[in-house]
């Protein structure tokens, strides 16, 4: 039996990646998808890579009351949009997996401030599960509303969780340096992502107040009661996809690299999509492109931990993780539709 699926906002980068994964999923059947810009065009015309895989016509979201009932809706809409549609589907008994920040925050005043919005469905926020399976699997399994984490937040939290859980670092000062491919900024044309602006350079995304910094801090607080303070810097690099994150923090006590790596391996011992890399020089965004894997390596410098993570911002940082969450809530194998290697070279 196939899971019937609807997709809101299917023609951005995350929508394209989600479609690529779902057309190869053994238990998925896409019933409808929306796009305002490409309404009434076939999705295979928008993304020619999907020819002979899926030829559904994109619908306008204004036709939402005519859409067939489905088992799950993925919302790839911008921040501030999903909260207008989630209740409509949840009231029908449809699961809702949201890619935006609309249901990520417990502290809604913080959400309102960060995104300059007023949340219209605060009661739904209390019901949502933060969709990071390695840390919130039990809650995800029981939830009808899943809030997919941010891509930077995924990379940072997966690197930090074993350190904070084992009380290995001083959480009051954590430095996170994250470099991401240009697809992380979305598909809409913006001057700084044009070829002549973005090529042959590395540029600052944010060194002041990136909106995923409070997301990371809040989730670590929920998980471990940690009052972590981050110095969080993000940069754009001229690759299509991928995030390489370097986390540094002061160790509370002396520990060897092998002991540290053993802590990570024990923490993630049952996690299929976490790969612990002994030699951190082998961590690269190229090794995780088009996959749902997060590669993690650790080392020590002058009583400081240095943890490096690599993931695909459209894979484990977005659409791959969303499919992983779908598999959990429908009691499928967690790796269904996600058992692919990276591309080489």
**Antiparallel, parallel or unpaired: β 28-33 and 3-8:** parallel
Q: Identify the sign of the CA torsion 314, 235, 231, 186.
A: negative
- Quote the CA–CA distance of 60 and 39 in Å, as a whole number: 5
**Catalytic annotation present for 151:** yes
Q: Which residues of 197-236 are buried (b: 16+ CB within 10 A; e: fewer)?
A: ebeeeeeebbeeebbbbbbbbbbbeebbebebebebbbeb
- Quote the CA–CA distance of 338 and 330 in Å, as a whole number: 15
Catalytic residue among 58, 76, 151, 294: 151
DSSP state of 278: S
Helices (H), the chain: 13-22, 43-46, 86-90, 108-115, 122-125, 133-142, 151-165, 195-198, 212-224, 257-267, 320-329
Reading the block at residue 56, the tokens are: 């559904």
Cβ 321 vs Cβ 154: under 8 Å = yes
- Residues annotated as catalytic (active site), given as ranges: 151
């Amino acid at each position: 039996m196939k899971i019937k699926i609807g997709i809101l906002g299917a023609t951005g980068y995350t929508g394209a990646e989600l479609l690529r994964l779902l057309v190869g999923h053994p238990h998925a059947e896409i019933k409808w998808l929306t796009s305002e810009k490409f309404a009434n065009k076939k999705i295979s015309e928008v993304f020619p890579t999907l020819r002979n895989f899926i030829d559904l016509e994109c619908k306008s979201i204004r036709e939402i009351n005519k859409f067939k009932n489905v088992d799950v809706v993925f919302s790839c809409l911008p921040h501030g949009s999903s909260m207008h549609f989630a209740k409509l589907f949840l009231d029908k008994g449809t699961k809702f997996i949201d890619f935006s920040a609309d249901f990520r925050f417990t502290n809604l005043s913080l959400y309102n401030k960060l995104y300059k919005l007023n949340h219209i469905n605060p009661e739904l926020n209390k019901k949502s599960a933060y969709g990071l399976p390695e840390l919130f699997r039990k809650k995800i399994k029981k939830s009808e509303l899943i809030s997919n984490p941010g891509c930077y937040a995924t990379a940072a939290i997966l690197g930090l969780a074993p350190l904070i859980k084992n009380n290995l670092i001083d959480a009051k000062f954590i430095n996170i340096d994250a470099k991401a491919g240009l697809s992380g900024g979305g598909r809409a044309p913006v001057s700084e992502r044009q070829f002549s602006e973005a090529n042959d350079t590395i540029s600052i995304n944010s060194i002041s107040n990136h909106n995923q910094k409070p997301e990371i801090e809040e989730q670590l607080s929920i998980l471990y009661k940690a009052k972590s303070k981050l110095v969080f810097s993000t940069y754009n690099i001229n690759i299509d996809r991928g995030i390489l994150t370097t986390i540094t923090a002061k160790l509370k006590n002396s520990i060897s690299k092998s002991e540290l790596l053993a802590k990570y391996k024990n923490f993630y011992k049952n996690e299929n999509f976490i790969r612990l890399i002994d030699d951190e020089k082998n961590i690269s965004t190229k090794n995780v492109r088009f996959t749902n894997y997060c590669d993690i390596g650790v080392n020590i410098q002058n009583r400081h931990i240095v943890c490096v993570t690599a993931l695909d911002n459209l894979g484990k940082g977005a659409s791959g993780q969303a499919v992983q969450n779908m598999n959990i809530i429908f009691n499928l194998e967690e790796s269904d539709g996600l058992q692919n290697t990276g591309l080489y070279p």
